[in-house]
Chain A
Amino acid sequence: MGTINYSTNELMAVTASRLLKDGQNIVVGLGLPQVATLLAQNTHAPNINIIYEIGVINPEAVDPGVGIADPRLWHRSEYFTSFIGTLGEILQKRLVDVGFLGGLQIDRHGNINSTLVRMGDGKIRHFTGSGGASDIATFSKNVYVIIKHERRKIVDTLDYLTTVGYLRGRETRRECGLPICESIKVITNLCVLGINPESKSLRVESIHPGISEKDIINNTGFEVKMIPGTKVTEQPTEEELQLLRERIDPAGMYIK
């Protein structure tokens, strides 16, 4: 068998998809998280439930959309409901196993900023804000984040804390009165980060093929540790790549 060629986004989608387990309830937005979820559904996890906060459950889209407000993503749903039906009931009742998020910045304890960036001159630039993201991280049992690995995005201090991870680490999340979060995984273009169970700080669990520890350290805004015996992220299989390219994202909107 020869070398398998794949893009970084394909590797990220495959890596994220392998974290999902069959039968899980997943709240997801557009982009790579959706691609990863559909890949899991088409491989090892046919019985997952997909929930969009707008009030859509288990759609089977046949056309790519521009966001969860695009009716393309509501096609062949099993249930339409309200914000209360998704965020207020299914999520708040703790029926969601995995919340899939992105963001502008993430810090060492997995807290996320999707609201604003502070510029050097004291001004701010305001972006999307929370939507359901903050709620999803509060109540999901596990939170997976896909984000680009750059110093300005994986930071020591957030410009704004929109979405909770483990707050200031250790037991601070529990002490604040927040529900238990079993795990946070951060999938970047360089590696997969997970949480140290004591300090509740992010640490490198696997490094993508061809990436060095130095690449990760240079692109991380805080002092990041590797777990002893850090593995190399497993490569995509031919079957996974074929599904991504021919069935899930044939136009290459997200995986290129």
Chain B
Amino acid sequence: MVDKVRDLKEVVSEIPAVGAEIALGGFAITRCPIAFACELIRQNKREMTLYEIIGSMDADLLVGAGAVKSLSYGGGSLDRFGRLGRINEAIENGTIDVKEYSGLGLTLRFTAGSMGIPFIPTKAMLGTEIIQNLLKAEPAVKVGQSPFDGESYVFLGALQPEYSVIHCQYADKKGNVVTEGPVWDLDLAKAGRKLIVTVEKIVSTEYIKRFPEKVIIPGVYTYAVVEVPYGAYPTSVYKCYDYDARALKLYARINNNQQDFDEYLSKYVLGTKDHNEFIEQMGGIARLNSIAADPVFGYAWGGKNDGDD
């Protein structure tokens, strides 16, 4: 049987040191591939071209670490915890090349990529400053007339990033991926030329065969499966663990200026050898126990997770 299971450090080491093209599957503060992003930083990847439909903590970390040359995204935040301070400042100072889309606009580029068609038409973004800026900066975005009704459409060129990286609950070693909850990252995952899935747990193929309806991405798409328990921490993984409000409040504070961010990065990312040590620095098993998900509610129900402790 094909075994796609890889080690995190080893799979990240094959990614080009300079100029890699990566699409990340996070959404603000949920299922963000944080362990993967931190490993990219530890291995000192540079000048990356990054895509993320809704900008999240993972992309903010990479921009703050100076690893990103170009970012395409559809806006983003840390929800009510705060702003993506490193991304916002990079835009304000023009230090990286940022292309902003609407959420649907960027998603449709992945949809075209996932289907192997050259482009996809939409009315999304017509008339906005978003499309005006993209027409100047992104050759893969055009406005034209439909040959069917003669009306104006935005034509979005297909995007098949070198790597798509998502974090999910389970996969088997063949790369059949099981996700609980909404799957905003589905098209982005299927579009990647190489799809890397970090998972909470590698499950048996017997599990997959008993519940094939739970598989959102079949192994035919998958390049590598990496088991990284708590790989999205401190963001949430539905039915596994909640976000850690204390850790997110800390991050939303230190990402407001580069000096505080740099101290955080040296202590928690560059100063730790892997994600286990990162979590230990954040409070370890006691912390993880406090955010364990209730199996019905899918988050730390009945618990106190406001970050005020």
Contacts and interface: CB of A to CB of B under 8 A. Distances in A.
Contacts of A75: 297-298
A84 B106 CA distance: 11
Given A71-B181, A138-B124, A130 B88 contact: no
A132 B104 contact: yes
Interface string A125-164: 1111111111100110000000000000000000011111
A66 B248 CA distance: 12
Interface in A106-138: 114-116, 123-135, 138
A225 interface: no
Interface stretch (A7-15, A87-95, A209-217): A87-95
Interface in B141-171: 151-153
Contacts of B185: 82
Contacts of B29: 66-67, 69-70
Contacts of A97: none
Interface in B65-97: 73-77, 79-81, 83, 87-89, 91-92
Nearest to A63: B301
A64 to B, nearest CB: 10
A131 B54 contact: yes
A70 B297 CA distance: 12
Contact of B184 (A83, A130, A176): A83
Interface residues of A, number: 54
B101 interface: yes
Interface residues of B, number: 58
B242 interface: yes
Given A82-B182, A88-B108, A128 B76 contact: yes
Given A82-B182, A176-B152, A115 B76 contact: no
A178 interface: yes
Given A67-B28, A88-B107, A131 B123 contact: no
A125 to B, nearest CB: 6
A55 B183 contact: yes
A69 B79 contact: yes
A132 B103 contact: yes
Interface string B42-54: 0000000000011
A18 interface: no
Contacts of B301: 63
Given A55-B183, A126-B91, A138-B126, A114 B75 contact: yes
B30 A71 contact: yes
28 contacts: A55-B181, A66-B81, A67-B80, A68-B79, A70-B243, A71-B238, A74-B298, A80-B182, A82-B185, A83-B107, A84-B111, A84-B186, A84-B187, A115-B130, A125-B92, A127-B83, A128-B75, A129-B100, A131-B102, A132-B74, A132-B104, A133-B102, A135-B105, A135-B125, A160-B129, A164-B128, A173-B127, A177-B123
Query: When A and B form their complex, which 10 residue pairs have the shortest distance between CB atoms, in order from nearest?
Result: A129-B75, A67-B79, A55-B182, A177-B152, A134-B102, A69-B28, A135-B104, A82-B186, A87-B104, A66-B80
Given A83-B184, A130-B102, 20 more contacts: A52-B182, A54-B184, A69-B236, A71-B299, A75-B298, A84-B111, A115-B100, A125-B92, A126-B92, A129-B100, A130-B75, A132-B102, A134-B102, A134-B105, A135-B102, A135-B103, A135-B104, A162-B130, A177-B127, A178-B126
Interface of A: 30, 52-56, 63, 66-72, 74-75, 80-84, 87-88, 91-92, 114-116, 123-135, 138-139, 160-164, 167, 173, 176-179
Interface of B: 27-30, 53-55, 73-77, 79-81, 83, 87-89, 91-92, 100-105, 107-108, 111, 122-130, 151-153, 181-187, 236, 238, 242-243, 293, 297-299, 301
